[in-house]
Structure 1
Amino acid sequence: MSSTMSKKTKDFLITPFGLVLLLSAISIFAAIIFGEDQSETVTDSILINLSNWQQGFFGLLEFTLQMMIILVLGYSMAIYKPIFDGLKKLASYPKTQLQAVLLTALITMLSGLINWGFGLIVGAVLARFMTMAQQEKNKITNPALLASAGYLGMAIWHGGLSASAPLKVAEKGHFLDLKIGVIPVSETIFSSFNIFITTGLIFLFLGTLWILSKNEKNQTVQIHTKPIKPISNANSFGLASLVGLFMLVVGIFVLFKNDAGIGALNLNTINFLLFGISLFAYKNLSRFTEAVTEGIKSSADIFIQFPFYAGILGVLQASGLIEKISLYFLNNSTEAFVPLITFFSAAFVNLLIPSGGGQWAIQGPILVEVGKSFNLPIGKLILVFAYGDQISNLLQPFWALPLLAITGVPAKQLLKYCFWLFLVGFTFLALAIFFFF
């Protein structure tokens, strides 16, 4: 009986929702013990911190909706029939497993740089099609290796156009605006620092997959795939397409009318343009609604978990723990090692908080305080945080769930290859940050 209860407890805690509940409990407990308000009784302290948690619970509603929209629209474009059919045709070209793996990885990473939700589904669908195409040709195939290649968009996305932290701080009135102001994407996503590191990471992943592919043979892996239905556009242009075109014209006009040009990109701008593209592509509102409905299913975890992240942030801020943690960093760090500590901490925390947006909401205030105290370039420090967040996605099963369902590959088989990709990518990023920050 006790062993059964222990297994149930373990199974609960290793779920993403179980982890965020555990983190919430730890945050509240820490605030009670180490918070600023030590004059109150234990009962009063508990009530105060529970109140802070409740008041912060919906403190990131705008951010939550932004993240849901970017995943939903990315998903809807991945199942758009012309794109879906294009991926299927693309899968028929590679003649060997090596070619299939490298092409899957390259398309996935480029898609992930455009939009992380789009890249996640494109990578999963393409990996599945590649496996089917190679099997039909009686070629050596490794579904798990192909699936790991199809997951690489999540290991590179935070340096791309849907990067949560860089886009968030590029908005006027973001939750750290009073401390750091608005940081344009020219200092983050489009900086030479990010372009150099992201490009290097792409080539490094391709090289690692080449080595893994050369040393792996045909794998007997039992896969159970989940069918994914493409959605075609309407036969003729309807009101939705006109509205979409209007949104694209307005979005592009406003973007380039801004003195900062493309540097004025932020989450709202990206979502606005993606909304317009999706409406224009599907032409008909009913088809667009059908695609969005499918995408909404994939965003349920964001809807459920982000308020808990906001509650954690409310507790940490109100209790003064953020300032205490910042002081600890200040007293135990040197300017040379702050970027590396930021990178390591972001990679670790991502294993507990599988969301770049939710993680930034919690770690952002701490990193900003530390960065300002050492007079470090905040834009670069945000990128370092982004690299840590994205690379440990390779060990985090949360975002791999759609890919596992579509490819049918067991998680254990996927992680076997993702571990090597993580190790190589983590080492490269740590060295690049240390020598070039």
Structure 2
Amino acid sequence: MKTLTSFFDRMVQRYLPDAFLFAIILTFLVFLLGVFFTDSGPVQMIEHWGGGFWDLLDFAMQMALVVVTGYILASAPIIRNGLAKLSNLAKTPAQAIMLVTFVALIACLINYGFGLVVGALFAVHVAKRVPTVDYRLLIASAYSGMLVWHGGFSASIPLLIATPGHFLEDTIGTIPVVETLFSPINIFIVLFLVVTLPFFNRYLMKGTDPLGNTDTSLWKTDEEDAQVTQESTEALTPADRLENSQTVSFIVGIMGLAYIFYHFVSNGFNLNINIVNFIFLFLGIIFHRTPKRFLDTVMKGVRNVGGIIVQFPFYAGIMGMMVASGLSQQMSEWFISLSTEFTFPLFTFISAGIVNFFVPSGGGQWAVQGPIMIPASIEIGVDTAKTVMAVAWGDAWTNMIQPFWALPVLAIAGLKVRDIMGFCLMILLYSFIPIAIGLLFF
């Protein structure tokens, strides 16, 4: 295990470029594939690329806020102290790896945006508590929680098809989550990974790495916070008094909490990415107590979102080329041609994993593959709910080696994609086993 992990780690460290260059290389690759394997010429592929370039602006803003609001909330003394106390459960590097993995898995099952932030922030605390742990493996363990997100409560594809009015309703009707998220297939895969992945990540340990890559300025002591507060109260002007008013923060914070309460009363336990950001933002306003302290923390948090802002448009352009050229359809249809009734779920899963490289948004991927895979499953005689979960798990599976979703985690951790990708590749290979068993035999 150590030999194989070391090999992948060395290869990734040597040959994998920065996440931005990875997106550029994918852009070139999809452009060439579209030119040679579809009816689109170079001019048409450029049109598809430019036409889709800005299609993820809303989502890019959401993910930028995931990082910023997570930073804001985690820097508040009450949250920082709570995470620090929880991190005390880890006494050794092995315990640190297992604890971070388990917390990240549970958090991502609740909500993927919540899990990305909490997993990364908790990993930083644990690294401070156990400085001899391999920090890169610890962050990879935090990111491994993303493996189960499409089997949890924020799973976009199962939730979409359970909602009346979805775009495939005329073909499959609405499929309740009891047939997807609470199916024997999904329960088996989720339980298997939650129970075993912490142990697997623990066995990926191959030495130690000092805590040298994290921004420890986030984790100031309470005494330092008190000192900053004391200094800011001297010789205040009326404007300064307003900026340092706890009343202002309290009032706007209460307004935010009131809406959160209204949201859950009206919609049940509906944790989407917007409400997660909303919760983090207004709790951060309250916990930082004054607008000045809140805004000072915002300025620090914004430094971490540059990669997201720049790279997400390139992935939107890749998606535009994949969809408009018909390349994604060709990939899916090729796997269908190889399938039987028994193997169709597995090949659907693998094809979804490949398409996820180029269309890393779960909802976007379903819009591409759903109209292809669902009619094929009906024709072959495969249960449509099983096909849905095959696409969902394929989307989640290759997230382990697709930097798109790792960007918020890496921003919080202060690492580059090559630092964790060797470990993530091992997690990808391991997780194939339970997912394949679930799709073939349940």
- Fold shared per TM-score above 0.5: yes
1:341-368: CA deviations, max 9, x gaps? 2322343455x44x741x6525642344
For residue 205 of structure 1, report the CA deviation from its aligned partner: 0.7
For residue 241 of structure 1, report the CA deviation from its aligned partner: 1.5
CA distance 1:156–1:76, change in 2 (3 Å): farther
For residue 423 of structure 1, report the CA deviation from its aligned partner: 2.9
Asked if the contact 2:305/2:411 (under 8 Å) is kept, the reply is no
Structure 2 counterpart of 1:116: 112
Structure 1 counterpart of 2:216: 227
Q: Judge which range, 19-28 or 183-192, deviates more.
A: 183-192
Distance in 2 between the 1:380 and 1:60 partners?
29
Q: Judge which range, 161-170 or 94-103, deviates more.
A: 161-170
Matching of residue 421 in structure 1 with residue 427 in structure 2: yes
For residue 275 of structure 1, report the CA deviation from its aligned partner: 0.6
Q: Secondary structure at the match of 1:311?
A: helix
* Letter of the structure 1 residue corresponding to residue 104 of structure 2: T
Q: Give the length in aligned residue pairs.
A: 401
Q: Secondary structure at the match of 2:440?
A: helix
1:204-258: CA deviations, max 9, x gaps? 1123245556xx6x636573432252599985562321221221122123214xx
* Letter of the structure 1 residue corresponding to residue 52 of structure 2: G
CA distance 1:379–1:306, change in 2 (3 Å): farther
Structure 2 counterpart of 1:339: 345
Matching of residue 195 in structure 1 with residue 182 in structure 2: no
CA distance 1:180–1:93, change in 2 (3 Å): same
Structure 1 counterpart of 2:234: none
Structure 1 counterpart of 2:436: 430
Asked if the contact 2:331/2:351 (under 8 Å) is kept, the reply is no
* Letter of the structure 2 residue corresponding to residue 338 of structure 1: F
* Letter of the structure 2 residue corresponding to residue 435 of structure 1: F
Distance in 1 between the 2:386 and 2:246 partners?
47
Q: Secondary structure at the match of 2:218?
A: coil
Q: Judge which range, 114-123 or 100-109, deviates more.
A: 114-123
Distance in 2 between the 1:115 and 1:282 partners?
22
CA distance 1:234–1:422, change in 2 (3 Å): farther
Matching of residue 89 in structure 1 with residue 91 in structure 2: no
- Gaps in structure 1 of 5+ consecutive residues: 1-9, 38-44, 257-261
The equivalences for 1:210-359 within 5 A come to: 210-211=202-203, 219=208, 223-229=212-218, 238-256=250-268, 265=270, 267=272, 270-272=273-275, 274-276=277-279, 278-283=281-286, 286=291, 294-350=300-356, 352-353=357-358, 356-357=360-361
Distance in 1 between the 2:309 and 2:414 partners?
25
CA distance 1:31–1:273, change in 2 (3 Å): closer
CA distance 1:248–1:53, change in 2 (3 Å): same
Asked if the contact 1:312/1:362 (under 8 Å) is kept, the reply is no
Distance in 1 between the 2:418 and 2:27 partners?
28
Distance in 2 between the 1:222 and 1:66 partners?
29
Which of 126, 129, 132 is the matching residue for 1:133?
A: 129
Distance in 2 between the 1:70 and 1:407 partners?
14
CA distance 1:296–1:160, change in 2 (3 Å): farther
Identical-residue share of aligned pairs (%): 33
Q: Secondary structure at the match of 1:151?
A: helix
Asked if the contact 2:105/2:148 (under 8 Å) is kept, the reply is yes
Asked if the contact 1:56/1:313 (under 8 Å) is kept, the reply is yes
CA distance 1:65–1:431, change in 2 (3 Å): same
Matching of residue 160 in structure 1 with residue 152 in structure 2: yes
The equivalences for 1:378-417 within 5 A come to: 378-396=384-402, 400=406, 414-415=420-421, 417=423
Distance in 2 between the 1:59 and 1:408 partners?
28
Asked if the contact 2:158/2:180 (under 8 Å) is kept, the reply is yes
Asked if the contact 2:69/2:284 (under 8 Å) is kept, the reply is no
Distance in 1 between the 2:309 and 2:172 partners?
28
Q: Judge which range, 167-176 or 366-375, deviates more.
A: 167-176
Distance in 2 between the 1:312 and 1:182 partners?
30
Q: Secondary structure at the match of 1:150?
A: helix
Distance in 2 between the 1:226 and 1:334 partners?
51
Structure 2 counterpart of 1:151: 143
Q: Judge which range, 390-399 or 367-376, deviates more.
A: 390-399
CA distance 1:311–1:400, change in 2 (3 Å): closer
CA distance 1:294–1:190, change in 2 (3 Å): farther
1:1-26: CA deviations, max 9, x gaps? xxxxxxxxx99983333333333344
Asked if the contact 1:70/1:117 (under 8 Å) is kept, the reply is yes
* Letter of the structure 1 residue corresponding to residue 261 of structure 2: V
Q: Judge which range, 48-57 or 396-405, deviates more.
A: 396-405
Q: Secondary structure at the match of 1:156?
A: helix
CA distance 1:319–1:149, change in 2 (3 Å): closer
Distance in 1 between the 2:140 and 2:433 partners?
18
Asked if the contact 1:371/1:377 (under 8 Å) is kept, the reply is no
Asked if the contact 2:35/2:45 (under 8 Å) is kept, the reply is yes
Asked if the contact 1:59/1:310 (under 8 Å) is kept, the reply is yes
For residue 86 of structure 1, report the CA deviation from its aligned partner: 1.2
For residue 155 of structure 1, report the CA deviation from its aligned partner: 2.6
Q: Secondary structure at the match of 2:98?
A: helix
Asked if the contact 1:356/1:390 (under 8 Å) is kept, the reply is no
Structure 1 counterpart of 2:238: none
